[in-house]
């Protein structure tokens, strides 16, 4: 077997198949599993998806949120078992693949336009207002 095929086979067990379709600029909820002693609980990190890098098992997402005018960014390996669920809250209309410019923005200019229309290219997602 070719080398890449063997590596893919090893990775296939830990690859998630239930990830939502998410684009840069979307607001997402990342449900993180947090272990405290013997107990496990879920903490939700909500923010804007500002970057995506890597392929397959290496894929990472950057999520930015603003807490009391302080920016907080976390980078998650999306295939990690420590991430229970990722859900898309709102779709944003942006033109960049990396939204690092948001770091320099504040106030109204930090907002991202909601993409209610023009969703036609995303398969399996209903348009707003449709049943």
Partner 1 sequence: MAQMLMGTKLGMTRVFNDQGISLPCTVIAMAPNVVTQIRTPEKDGYAAIQVAFDDIKPRNSTQSLIAHDHKAGTTPKRHHREFRVSEAELKNYTLGQTLTVAAFEAIAYVDVVGTSKGKGFQGTMKRHHFKGMFASHGTERKHRSPGSIGSLCSNRGFGGGLKKGKRMSGHMGDVRRTCRSLDVVRIDAENNLLLVKGTVPGSVRKMVMVSNAARLYKSKARKQEALTKGK
Residues 6+ apart with CB under 8 A from 125: 21, 119
- The region of 21-29, 74-82, 97-105, 115-123 touching partner 1 under the rule CB under 8 A is 74-82
Q: How far apart are CA 61 and CA 32, in angstroms?
A: 13
Q: Which is nearer to partner 1, 51 or 79 (CB)?
A: 79
Q: Figure out which of the listed residues 10, 67, 104, 123 binds partner 1, where binding follows CB under 8 A.
A: 10
Place of tokens 């009391």: 68
Which is nearest to 66 in space by CA: 40, 95, 99? 99
Q: How far apart are CA 25 and CA 67, in angstroms?
A: 18
Report how many residues bind partner 1 under the rule CB under 8 A: 16
Q: Figure out which of the listed residues 28, 30, 57, 61 binds partner 1, where binding follows CB under 8 A.
A: 57
Q: Which is nearer to partner 1, 48 or 86 (CB)?
A: 86
For binding to partner 1 (CB under 8 A), which residues are involved?
A: 3, 6-7, 9-11, 14, 33, 35, 57-58, 77, 79-82
């Amino acid at each position: 077997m070719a080398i890449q095929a063997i590596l893919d086979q090893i990775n296939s067990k830990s690859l998630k198949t239930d990830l939502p379709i998410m684009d840069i600029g979307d607001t997402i909820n990342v449900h993180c599993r947090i272990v405290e002693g013997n107990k496990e609980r879920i903490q939700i990190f909500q923010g804007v998806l500002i970057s995506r890098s890597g392929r397959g098992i290496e894929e990472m997402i950057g999520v930015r949120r603003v807490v009391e005018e302080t920016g907080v960014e976390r980078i998650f390996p999306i295939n990690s078992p420590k991430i229970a669920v990722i859900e898309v809250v709102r779709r944003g209309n942006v033109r960049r693949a990396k939204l690092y410019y948001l770091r320099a923005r504040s106030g109204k200019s930090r907002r991202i336009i909601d993409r209610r229309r023009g969703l036609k290219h995303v398969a399996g997602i209903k348009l707003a207002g449709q049943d």
